[in-house]
């Protein structure tokens, strides 16, 4: 057993040379120049973003707390209409923004402080102050070998938390160079982590389409 392990290690080691499964270049897929090129990967990114939202609509029930102290539990309908800072609406009428971030680390190693790029700053603030916006923060990991995305964690920032300036559990600032926002969570413990099943989907088909485009 020991010998077998050693042999296979040596073989692997000697023949070792990363080959990108997107462009066949000698690099890992994660450092692929084509994968970093928006002209190629915009479609793949949009697919991932939409699919994450669809999965949230499919698996997450409205976590808002009613005045009687009970969780709403209503169905979240994903809008997919490019409304700024409004991605989903519950049967109870509350509105949600969904922000996601790729962190390919085990769930237990998610850092305490998190930051997300947000949508239009003025719209986001307006919706929080005037329309009762809630935000769902989604952490997902990308498996480049299996071509799957797994949603590991979802945090809920209620409208009450978003409006509470004293505790600053979520800090939204305007970015310097444009009208977009930057959202910081100094400590994730101040948000409610929702209990979710394993949510996983494949982007293999979209990857194959991209690969065919790159290699034609
Ligand atoms: Zn490559
Ligand atoms: Zn609801």
Residue 62 Cα to ligand 2 midpoint, Å, equals 4
All structural domains of the chain with their residue ranges: 1-36, 44-214
pTM of the predicted model as reported, rounded to 2 decimal places: 0.88
Instruction: Please report where in the chains the tokens 């970093």 appear, as a residue.
Output: 36
Its CATH architecture, for the domain 44-214, is 3-Layer(aba) Sandwich (3.40)
User: What is the total residue count of the chain?
Assistant: 216
pLDDT at 1: 42
Long-range CB contacts for residues 151-154, cutoff 8 Å, separation at least 24:
151/52, 151/55, 151/56, 151/196, 151/199, 151/200, 152/103, 152/107, 152/110, 153/107, 153/110, 153/193, 153/196, 154/56, 154/60, 154/193, 154/194, 154/196
The ligand placed nearest to the CA atom of residue 94 is: 2
Local mean pLDDT, 10-residue blocks, the chain (216 residues)? 45 66 87 86 90 97 96 96 92 97 89 95 96 97 93 96 90 95 96 94 94 88
Residue 200 Cα to ligand 2 midpoint, Å, equals 24
Residue 12 Cα to ligand 2 midpoint, Å, equals 53
Residue 139 Cα to ligand 1 midpoint, Å, equals 25
Give which of 196, 175, 192, 82 is closest to 134, Cα–Cα. 192
Residue 9 Cα to ligand 1 midpoint, Å, equals 25
pLDDT at 167: 83
- Is there a contact between 59 and 73 (Cβ–Cβ < 8 Å)? no
Q: Determine how many CB atoms are found less than 10 A away from the CB of residue 146.
A: 12
- Is there a contact between 186 and 6 (Cβ–Cβ < 8 Å)? no
pLDDT at 15: 58
The ligand placed nearest to the CA atom of residue 61 is: 2
Residue 186 Cα to ligand 1 midpoint, Å, equals 36
Angle between helices 38-59 and 204-214 (to 10 degrees): 170
């Amino acid at each position: 057993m020991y010998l077998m392990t050693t042999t296979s290690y040596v073989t692997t080691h000697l023949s070792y040379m990363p080959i990108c499964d997107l462009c066949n270049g000698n690099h890992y897929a994660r450092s692929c120049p084509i994968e970093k090129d928006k002209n190629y990967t915009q479609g793949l990114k949009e697919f991932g973003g939409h699919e994450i939202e669809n999965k949230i609509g499919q698996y997450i029930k409205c976590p808002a707390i009613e005045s009687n102290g009970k969780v709403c539990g209503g169905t979240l309908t994903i809008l997919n209409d490019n409304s700024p800072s409004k991605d989903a609406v519950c049967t109870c009428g509350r509105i949600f923004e969904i922000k996601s971030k790729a962190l390919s680390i085990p769930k237990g190693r998610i850092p305490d402080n998190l930051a997300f790029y947000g949508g239009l700053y003025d719209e986001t603030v307006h919706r929080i102050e005037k329309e009762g916006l809630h935000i769902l923060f989604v952490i997902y990991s990308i498996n480049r070998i299996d071509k799957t995305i797994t949603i590991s964690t979802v945090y809920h920032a209620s409208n009450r938390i978003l409006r509470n300036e004293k505790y600053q559990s979520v800090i939204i600032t305007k970015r310097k160079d444009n009208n977009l926002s930057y959202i910081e969570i100094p400590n994730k413990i101040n948000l409610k982590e929702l209990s979710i099943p394993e949510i996983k989907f494949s982007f293999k088909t979209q990857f194959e389409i991209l690969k065919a485009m790159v290699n034609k």
